[in-house]
Amino acid sequence: MAAAAAAATSLRNYTDFVPPHQLVEEAGKKVLQINLSAAGFKKEQLRVRIDNHGKLRISGERQVSGNRWSRFHKDFQVPDDCNAGDVRARFDSRDRVLHITMPKLSPAEEEPKAAAAATPADHGAAQAQQTAAPADQEKEDKEEEDDDGAANDGAAAGGTALVTGRRKTPWRVVLAVVLALVAAAGFYAKYRLMMDPSAADGGHGLIGFSDH
């Protein structure tokens, strides 16, 4: 039966089209409106999915006649100020417009998201500092040994040697910063799963249609 269905699908003659759309800003949310009035689609012929990168994948296909089919596919990135884990879809059967509602993040939700977004760059900088720190420390230790040696030689010769103090790199502080960033990265991973449930099931969550 599966083979027969696959064979029937391969015989379909598809016509692709790009439906008009607009992004509407409303109080506390953004709504993506896709106009399907000219295409004759029904709700059961549409599919709205969201991946773990916050990208909406909207598609639909319907039989026109015989082996002639009409279809469309559209990807849309959920805005950064919207909650990707709370996206809802609604199809208005009267005007045949697909409404995809994306609630905006509250100020309390935006702060950890902004901090998590900055973590990768900060973590990379900290790693670079950590890599450079041992070499700098070794160089400074070598210079200090040379200065101490010069001072001892001067004292032995009956002279007076002036040794200029050098400020050492606080590598322990760098290590503490790296550990803090690793902890922040763990918090971001937990926050990502909470904000985007589809990340836990392979990154492709199917969004059901609401009636209002």
Mind listing the pLDDT tens digit of every residue in the chain (212 residues)? 666 666 666 789 999 999 999 999 999 999 999 999 988 899 999 999 998 888 999 999 999 999 999 999 999 999 999 998 899 999 998 999 999 999 999 887 666 655 655 555 555 555 555 555 555 566 666 665 555 555 455 444 444 444 444 555 577 877 877 777 766 655 444 444 444 444 344 445 788 887 66
Domain ranges of the chain: 2-106+200-210, 107-196
User: How many Cα neighbours within 13 Å face the side chain of 26?
Assistant: 13
* Contact in structure between 14 and 69 (CB atoms under 8 Å): yes
Nearest C-alpha neighbor of 65 from the set 17, 19, 12, 16: 12
User: What is the gyration radius of the CA atoms in the chain, in angstroms?
Assistant: 30
Does the pTM surpass 0.85? The reply is no
> In CATH, which of 3.30.70.3270, 1.10.8.640, 2.60.120.260, 2.60.40.790 is domain 2-106+200-210?
2.60.40.790
